[in-house]
Amino acid sequence: MGGVTTRKNSGQSTTAPAKRQRATSSGPASERRDHLVKLAAELFARKGFQATTVREIADEAGILSGSLYHHFDSKETIVDEVLSTFLDDLVARYRTAIGSGADPRSTLSEMVRIGFGTLEPHRAAITVMQNDWNYLRQFERFNYLVKAEDEVEQIWVAQIKAGQAAGQFRADVDPKLTYRMIRDTIWVAVRWFRPGGRLNTTGLAEHYITVLFDGLATGERTSQQA
């Protein structure tokens, strides 16, 4: 249990199918609301959070900007919902992966696949997180984003260290540094990845797994230590 705690539906277990409800003043869940969030997410992704006006969101929904405030109490609340929905899903998937008990290399591969696998269903949210993170983190209300990021980092670093201990990964790399590079490589792909290109996200994942584990070079590895 526990772990990543977004400000939305914290304690909610992955299995509990309880009615989704928010603990905050951001208002009750509803189909209309979810729809509005989706519209907003697309706009945030395309134009950036700051450059997207509440009027544009309202226009997209065919209502007046003031009417949005029946559903959300602020623009921040909307983006909050966009991001936390994504993070909740991501963390849940990671938990499943590390719970499988597979060896570190297999687990890490799976986690890479999970990462690339979110690129399509959560494209908008990931884009927002990449582009507007620097701005949003200034606000206290988004502190939970940092917390979620920290937990994810721990999960990854633990796997890398386990792999080094098991002799599957080379010992001369820095686990934390390595994690960051992997993470960045995956998420930043959202900037150029477009569904329908040569590779789908599965192909992307396998391509990256290959390079990540075996390297770009041919022949014997240059330097190595047990």
Partner DNA sequence: AATGAATGAGGCTTCATTCAT
Partner DNA sequence: AATGAATGAAGCCTCATTCAT
Contact residues for DNA, defined by CB under 7 A? 30, 32, 51-55, 63-71, 73-76
How many residues does this entry show for the chain? 226
CA 120 to chain CA mean position, Å: 11
Closest CB to a copy of itself among residues 120, 184:
184
Closest CB to DNA among residues 3, 27:
27
Q: Residue 192, interface with a copy of itself (CB under 8 A)?
A: yes
Closest CB to DNA among residues 64, 181:
64
State in angstroms the smallest separation of the CB of 25 from DNA: 11
HSE-up of 63 (CA within 13 Å, CB side)? Answer: 16
* 128 Cβ contact partners less than 8 Å away, ≥ 6 residues apart: 41, 44, 45, 49, 79, 82, 83
Q: Which of residues 9, 127, 159, 201 is near a copy of itself by CB under 8 A?
A: 127
Q: Residue 120, interface with a copy of itself (CB under 8 A)?
A: no
* CA distance to 53, 66, 140, per residue, from 32 (Å): 19, 16, 28
Residue 173 near which of a copy of itself, DNA, none (CB within 5-8 Å, type-dependent): a copy of itself
* CA distance to 45, 68, 188, per residue, from 110 (Å): 27, 40, 19
State in angstroms the smallest separation of the CB of 100 from a copy of itself: 20
State in angstroms the smallest separation of the CB of 154 from a copy of itself: 15
* CA distance to 33, 157, 200, 220, per residue, from 44 (Å): 16, 31, 24, 47
Q: Residue 214, interface with a copy of itself (CB under 8 A)?
A: yes
- Which residue from 110, 135, 126, 123 is spatially nearest to 50, judged by alpha carbons? 135
Q: Which of residues 25, 138, 194, 195 is near a copy of itself by CB under 8 A?
A: 138
Residue ranges in contact with a copy of itself by CB under 8 A: 47-48, 50-51, 105, 127, 131-135, 138, 163, 167-170, 172-174, 177-178, 180-181, 184-185, 188-189, 191-192, 198-199, 204, 207-208, 210-218, 221-224, 226
